[in-house]
Amino acid sequence: MCKIFAGQDPARYEQITRRLRLNGQSTSIRLERAFWVIMDELAETQGMTTPGFMSKLHSEVLELHGEPKNFASLLRCCCLVHLETSSVGPERLMAAE
Protein backbone atom coordinates (compact mmCIF):
# COMPACT_ATOMS: atom_id res chain seq x y z
CA MET A 1 0.00 0.00 0.00
CA CYS A 2 2.72 2.52 0.86
CA LYS A 3 4.19 2.20 -2.64
CA ILE A 4 1.05 3.86 -3.99
CA PHE A 5 1.73 6.90 -1.82
CA ALA A 6 5.51 6.83 -1.59
CA GLY A 7 5.96 6.03 -5.27
CA GLN A 8 4.13 9.07 -6.62
CA ASP A 9 6.01 11.58 -8.73
CA PRO A 10 7.65 14.16 -6.42
CA ALA A 11 6.48 16.90 -8.79
CA ARG A 12 2.92 16.31 -7.50
CA TYR A 13 3.81 17.49 -4.00
CA GLU A 14 6.27 20.19 -4.96
CA GLN A 15 5.14 23.41 -3.31
CA ILE A 16 4.27 26.23 -5.69
CA THR A 17 3.73 29.81 -4.54
CA ARG A 18 1.45 32.07 -6.53
CA ARG A 19 1.02 35.79 -5.93
CA LEU A 20 -2.53 37.02 -6.38
CA ARG A 21 -5.12 39.46 -5.11
CA LEU A 22 -7.85 38.32 -2.76
CA ASN A 23 -10.58 40.95 -2.81
CA GLY A 24 -8.06 43.69 -3.56
CA GLN A 25 -5.42 42.51 -1.08
CA SER A 26 -2.12 41.36 -2.56
CA THR A 27 -1.03 38.05 -1.05
CA SER A 28 0.80 34.85 -1.86
CA ILE A 29 -0.49 31.32 -1.44
CA ARG A 30 1.64 28.20 -1.32
CA LEU A 31 0.06 24.90 -2.28
CA GLU A 32 1.35 21.63 -3.62
CA ARG A 33 1.21 21.33 -7.40
CA ALA A 34 -1.57 18.70 -7.27
CA PHE A 35 -3.81 21.12 -5.34
CA TRP A 36 -3.12 23.96 -7.79
CA VAL A 37 -4.23 21.68 -10.63
CA ILE A 38 -7.52 21.00 -8.85
CA MET A 39 -8.02 24.68 -7.94
CA ASP A 40 -7.46 25.67 -11.57
CA GLU A 41 -10.02 23.06 -12.67
CA LEU A 42 -12.55 24.24 -10.08
CA ALA A 43 -12.19 27.84 -11.20
CA GLU A 44 -12.59 26.84 -14.84
CA THR A 45 -15.79 24.90 -14.10
CA GLN A 46 -17.17 28.09 -12.52
CA GLY A 47 -16.16 30.17 -15.55
CA MET A 48 -13.69 32.13 -13.44
CA THR A 49 -9.98 32.70 -13.15
CA THR A 50 -8.30 30.97 -10.23
CA PRO A 51 -7.70 34.27 -8.37
CA GLY A 52 -11.31 35.28 -9.01
CA PHE A 53 -12.59 31.95 -7.72
CA MET A 54 -10.40 32.18 -4.62
CA SER A 55 -11.55 35.76 -3.97
CA LYS A 56 -15.18 34.73 -4.16
CA LEU A 57 -14.53 31.77 -1.87
CA HIS A 58 -12.68 33.99 0.59
CA SER A 59 -15.59 36.48 0.63
CA GLU A 60 -18.11 33.72 1.26
CA VAL A 61 -16.02 32.27 4.10
CA LEU A 62 -15.73 35.73 5.65
CA GLU A 63 -19.51 36.08 5.60
CA LEU A 64 -20.12 32.64 7.09
CA HIS A 65 -17.28 32.22 9.59
CA GLY A 66 -15.08 35.30 9.66
CA GLU A 67 -11.43 35.38 8.64
CA PRO A 68 -10.09 31.84 8.11
CA LYS A 69 -7.10 31.02 10.31
CA ASN A 70 -5.35 29.19 7.48
CA PHE A 71 -6.68 29.92 4.00
CA ALA A 72 -4.26 27.49 2.30
CA SER A 73 -5.62 24.67 4.47
CA LEU A 74 -9.15 25.71 3.57
CA LEU A 75 -8.22 25.52 -0.12
CA ARG A 76 -6.80 22.02 0.30
CA CYS A 77 -9.98 20.93 2.03
CA CYS A 78 -12.03 22.48 -0.80
CA CYS A 79 -10.08 20.26 -3.19
CA LEU A 80 -10.91 17.22 -1.05
CA VAL A 81 -14.60 18.14 -0.99
CA HIS A 82 -14.50 18.48 -4.76
CA LEU A 83 -12.91 15.05 -5.14
CA GLU A 84 -15.33 13.48 -2.66
CA THR A 85 -18.36 14.87 -4.45
CA SER A 86 -17.27 14.32 -8.05
CA SER A 87 -16.82 11.19 -10.09
CA VAL A 88 -13.04 11.27 -10.22
CA GLY A 89 -11.44 7.91 -10.91
CA PRO A 90 -8.37 6.64 -9.06
CA GLU A 91 -6.22 6.98 -12.18
CA ARG A 92 -6.92 10.75 -12.18
CA LEU A 93 -5.99 11.07 -8.52
CA MET A 94 -2.64 9.32 -9.00
CA ALA A 95 -1.75 11.00 -12.30
CA ALA A 96 1.31 13.21 -12.27
CA GLU A 97 0.42 16.77 -13.27
CA atoms within 13 A on the CB side of 62: 8
Q: Domain map of the chain by residue range? A: 2-26+34-94
Give the contacts of 35 (CB within 8 A, at least 6 positions apart): 75, 76, 79
CATH 1.10.10.60 fits 2-26+34-94, yes or no: no
pLDDT digits (tens, 9 = 90+) for 9-55: 999 999 999 999 988 899 999 999 999 999 999 999 999 999 999 99
pLDDT digits (tens, 9 = 90+) for 44-60: 999 999 999 999 999 99
Which of helix, strand or coil describes residue 48?
A: coil
